[in-house]
Amino acid sequence: MMTFGRQYQDDTTFAEVGHRLDAAVANLSSHAIFGCIRKAQMDLLDLHRHVSVLDDDNIREESGVDGSVSDSTASSSSSLDSANSDG
């Protein structure tokens, strides 16, 4: 049976909280614990999918739209060549 409402006051001690937590954990079933673990696993898988999509998008942006790798060194070296030929 779950209890709802304010169980803790400003003067609640850590020892009291510890006793309440011990009692709550002692009453947990293995099925409830498994459910919590399963839910956490599903949330982590969702997060992994989301991060993977973001990573894939970043890789596509860095490699260019057509799939060719953009190289900023080529444009800067050609700028240096034109600057050297002007001087």
In a domain, 80, yes or no: no
Q: Which of 21, 1, 17 is nearest to 9 (CA)?
A: 17
Question: Looking at the domain assignment, is residue 75 inside a domain?
Answer: no
Reported pTM: 0.46
- CA distances for 33 relative to 13, 26, 38, 39, 87, angstroms: 27, 11, 9, 10, 75
**Residue 79 domain flag:** no
Q: Which domain holds residue 58?
A: 37-63
Does some domain include residue 54?
A: yes
Per the structure, how many domains does the chain have? 1
Is the residue at 48 inside a domain? yes
Is 46 inside a domain boundary? yes
pLDDT given at position 18: 92
Q: Residues 50-61, buried b or exposed e (16+ Cβ, 10 A)?
A: eeeeeeeeeeee
pLDDT tens per residue across span 6-55? 677 788 899 999 999 999 999 999 999 999 999 999 999 999 999 999 99
> Does residue 7 sit within a domain?
no
